[in-house]
Structure 1
Amino acid sequence: MNNKIGIGLLGLGTVGTGVANIVKSPDGRHPLVSKIELTRIAVRDIERSRDIELDQSILTDDPFEVVKDPNVQIVVEAIGGIEPAKSLILLAISLGKSVVTANKAVIARHGKEISEAANNAGVYVLIEAAVGGGIPIIEPLKQSLGGNRIRKITGIINGTTNYILSQMAKEDANYQDVLKEAQNLGYAEANPTADVDGHDAADKISILSGLAFGGSIDREGISTKGISTLESIEINYARQLGYEIKLLAIAENLSINATTAIKSIPLGLRVEPTFVPKEHPLSVVNGVNNAILIEGDPIGEVMFYGPGAGAGATASAVVADILNIGGIMLMQKEDKTLDPLLSSNSWRDCFLANAREIEHKNYVRLITVDTPGVIGKIGNVFGKNNVSIQSIVQFDSSHAGAEIIVITHKVSKGQIEDSLSEIEHLEEVIQIAAHLSCL
């Protein structure tokens, strides 16, 4: 194949087509792009008409045939899902081939197994496109920020939910109407569960945490709450109180002394709708855009912002990974040593802290009987549980009762849960209508 790098592309959907378009039009791009050659492509239907011109002889409906092709040097997995993606990735590794994937689901759940297999085989598995679409975040965590102690990651990393929340706030619309609009525009899937229930964001924060903190993450243990039950009234109250509501994925190092070279650290991970102060940089991230805020020592805070999905954005990240591997292959033909900045390996054990120990501010909306002393009783319960109140406001009463809004200072989840359990049983309290986190 002369000096070309043979690419085996698994899938020719949105991402795969985007990759093929870049590879087939190298002019004006980095010179390494011209060294990439599409050798084999796996598709579901070979006879289907496509918007891109391809040599039909390189198409097959058998993805395993692509992986096994001796002329394929890098396998690009763009089919998604767990299987057969996982099996195809592991097969490629066993055959000594590096892999590029945008598959956050398989990496979040099987990343440790895959990275160990890759390290043992002396090949790379690069995943820039798995989080944040076109935003470069994986490589900066592995390289540019490598000299930092990462303290916290806070991200808007699901474009579908961010679009829905942005439109609900902008148009004063309800969730179901905006979801339907997002589906009509192609921003939301016909079955939007993975997005709106927070699972997609949980996959992504799991991956980012593993890179930032140095150990594999128990994906299924991440506390996850989506936006499907969020009422527009909360968004209206948020605005009145100086906040925007965003679905945030948060990961933070909860160890007391972050400078200690300990081998096992507690991490606080969660995905949930969160009150974000209007002066916070994440509050102005709207539409389908993503943004990831990294807090580290000594860098302080840096934010990565941009399109979180789409053919162009995701394909950009995929091709960047191909170039990283291809450059090494072309420049170090005989050198089998892995570049430690590109390879990944766990260097300590991480564990999820007890969710009740994670601290954050809280927004609570209570519906109560409109009677003197009710705010005092609520305050007494919070005080007994050492929950410090930042503000407590009663809004106009209605036939349903009085509405009381409480914003707390930062307290543990256990403290707020214990308080709300007691408050729920006060005879003056009709309902705890909402409880959300605040930054």
Structure 2
Amino acid sequence: MIEPRRLRVALLGAGAVGSQVARLLLAHADELADRAGAPLDLVGIAVRDVDAPREADLPRELYTTDADTLIAGADIVIEVTGGLEPARTRILHALASGADVVTANKALLATHGSEIFDAADQVGATVAYEAAVAGAIPIIRPLRDSLAGDRVRRIMGIVNGTTNYILDRMDREGLGFDEVLAEAQRLGYAEADPTADVEAYDAAQKAAILASLAFHTSVPLDAVHREGITSVDAGVIEAARKAGYVVKLLAVCERLVDQPDAAPTGEAISVRVYPALVPREHPLASVHGANNAVFVEAEAAGDLMFYGAGAGGVQTASAVLGDVVSAARRHVAGGPGVGESTRANLPIVPIGRIRTSCQVTLEVDDKPGVLATVAGILSDGNVSIATVEQTTSGDAVARESGDAVAHLVIGTHTAREQDLADTVERLAATSAVRRVVSVLRVEGD
């Protein structure tokens, strides 16, 4: 028997994920070697400060501040530092030296993915990134490999645990946004600055990655329409409940076929992230707490649901190590790495050209003629009303004096997004409407 070559593994970063990756590599070395077909030697961990306090009890001699030297001698480089730089430069260095790369860096892939994948193709290396989207949930490989022979029609994903925790608590316990956000920060679900989560930057990065895989088209981050959840209050949640919906922050990646307004050439894609109304009987409605889920609609395979922990150090480390084992098997077997398939080059349409239905909540004067005025504006804007519910606040004296307020919750039929946006703008400008409380799309109906 020929003893297999030992594979040198370099780790960049020793935070919550990196420390767990290192711990598992060392603790399960024999099992991982059996699965990979060769021993995996963790040769070093690149950090900014080797003396900084850390949760994981790892051998101090593994730590180094010399990332470049560590990368130069590695067969597999694991990058879990996050951010754009120096992660981008170090990954390109690793690929140029012939190493395979495993990364959990969603921001980097969403911003510089094309450059990184091209660099990998030039040298026959592999870039694996299962941990970049939805933590421990296996979704990258199913899209890239298992469904490569199918046509994905649509993806709807809850891909940010912080926002799902917030919206779920608001829905199930009737709490306000600020109260739940403060609780999420105390529990560690939300950062001190929660902007990346609540304004949907994190989810938009993941949507770009999912759409690129599903539709074999490079999707730049600036092509993803993004709206956060800061405008969702207790009243919006209650109106959704009464209508039979739950509010979720969704990443929606959709193939548009035979829609002349959106895809005049015959086929295009739309990628967007926003808070949406999901029917309570839909599988995504039952995703609670900080969990993630991705719902895939494929032409031949049908509906597929992937559910589980979307974050956490050890959970994300599980996905990282799965990629490490796959990369090691390639080294053992030989041959070039598997490149990304982005040759479809489907056009990405702006949100104004797609068709959606929505629920519009208005605060209006409670007096005769208001509903007729609102209905007329909707009709003029080519937006058809499906349902209307009105609630009134104030007593008879207030209504007599013209100070009473009513809330109109209007469900629309499917309409062009630009028509919906223009119509809402006209509603906001009319004197009978005091304010537009919310506009939420309906998905999965």
TM-score by length of 2: 0.92
1:337 matches 2:336: yes
| Partner SS state of residue 188, structure 1 | coil
8 Å CA contact 1:202–1:224 kept in 2: the answer is yes
8 Å CA contact 2:154–2:254 kept in 1: the answer is yes
**Partner of residue 223, structure 2:** 221
Once residues 62 and 305 of structure 1 are traced to their aligned partners in structure 2, the CA distance between those partners, rounded to angstroms, is: 39
1:375 matches 2:350: no
Structure 2 spans left out of the alignment, 5+ residues: 395-402
Once residues 86 and 58 of structure 2 are traced to their aligned partners in structure 1, the CA distance between those partners, rounded to angstroms, is: 24
Question: AA paired with 2:440?
Answer: L
**Partner of residue 59, structure 1:** 63
Question: AA paired with 1:434?
Answer: S
8 Å CA contact 2:275–2:441 kept in 1: the answer is yes
**Partner of residue 88, structure 1:** 90
* Amino-acid identity (%): 38
Question: AA paired with 1:365?
Answer: T
Moved more, 214-223 or 302-311: 214-223
**Partner of residue 413, structure 1:** 417
Once residues 425 and 227 of structure 1 are traced to their aligned partners in structure 2, the CA distance between those partners, rounded to angstroms, is: 24
Question: AA paired with 1:143?
Answer: D
Once residues 312 and 54 of structure 1 are traced to their aligned partners in structure 2, the CA distance between those partners, rounded to angstroms, is: 15
| Partner SS state of residue 424, structure 1 | helix
Question: AA paired with 2:50?
Answer: I
Question: What value does the CA root-mean-square deviation take over the aligned residues?
Answer: 2.1
CA drift of 1:115 comes to: 0.3
8 Å CA contact 1:358–1:412 kept in 2: the answer is yes
Structure 1 spans left out of the alignment, 5+ residues: none
Once residues 315 and 31 of structure 2 are traced to their aligned partners in structure 1, the CA distance between those partners, rounded to angstroms, is: 15
| Partner SS state of residue 387, structure 2 | strand
Corresponding residue to 1:356 among 352, 357, 363: 352
| Partner SS state of residue 154, structure 2 | strand
Moved more, 197-206 or 415-424: 415-424
| Partner SS state of residue 347, structure 2 | strand
8 Å CA contact 1:150–1:294 kept in 2: the answer is yes
**Partner of residue 44, structure 2:** 40
Corresponding residue to 2:361 among 360, 365, 380: 365
| Partner SS state of residue 163, structure 1 | helix
**Partner of residue 251, structure 2:** 249
CA drift of 1:200 comes to: 0.3
TM-score by length of 1: 0.93
| Partner SS state of residue 346, structure 2 | strand
CA drift of 1:263 comes to: 10
| Partner SS state of residue 283, structure 1 | helix
| Partner SS state of residue 161, structure 1 | helix
8 Å CA contact 2:207–2:224 kept in 1: the answer is no
Matches within 5 A, 1:222-237: 222-237=224-239
| Partner SS state of residue 258, structure 2 | coil
Moved more, 385-394 or 199-208: 385-394
Post-superposition Cα deviations, 1:144-186, rounded to whole Å, max 9, x if no partner, equal: 1111111111000000110111111222211111111111111
Once residues 183 and 63 of structure 1 are traced to their aligned partners in structure 2, the CA distance between those partners, rounded to angstroms, is: 33
Distance 1:380 1:10, change over 3 A: same
**Partner of residue 401, structure 1:** 405
Question: AA paired with 1:383?
Answer: S
8 Å CA contact 1:264–1:349 kept in 2: the answer is no
Distance 1:127 1:286, change over 3 A: same
**Partner of residue 79, structure 2:** 77
Distance 1:284 1:416, change over 3 A: same
